[in-house]
Amino acid sequence: MKTTLTAYRSAVGIVLATALILMVPLLAMQFSDEVVWTLSDFIVVGTLLLGTGLAYELITRKVGSAHRLAVGLALAAALFLVWAELAVGIFGTAVAGS
């Protein structure tokens, strides 16, 4: 079981990793006209990444170490499917991208 301090450090690490990932499109927008993200794009992707990271952290605290890989793969697959659906609309839902 993690202590409060290590749980806090994990959460801060997840927030920092999310911020660093979001810096990639932000910097790309400065150097290229091909990357055009709005504030809502950053909010949605930030929420997806942060939610996935925090979900992994919370779930792996409850399950044994033998299941961490399975949890990670399942969350990564879910993140990829949602991201792809929002970007290009694989399944043709109402939230599909253009």
pLDDT in tens, 25-77: 999 999 999 999 999 999 999 999 999 999 999 999 888 788 899 999 999 99
Provide the token pair at 62.
């409850």
CA distance 66 to 18: 26
Q: State the average pLDDT over residues 18-25.
A: 96
Residue 35 has a CB neighbour count (10 Å cut-off) of 13
CA distance 78 to 19: 20
Going by the DSSP 8-state scheme, the letter that residue 16 receives in this structure is H
Query: Which of 89, 87, 4 has the alpha carbon at shortest distance from 44?
Result: 87
Q: State the average pLDDT over residues 17-23.
A: 97
Task: Place 1 in a pLDDT band, splitting at 50, 70 and 90.
Answer: low
Every domain of the chain and the residues it spans: 4-88
Global pTM value: 0.84
Cα pseudo-dihedral 57, 62, 64, 68, rounded to 10: -30
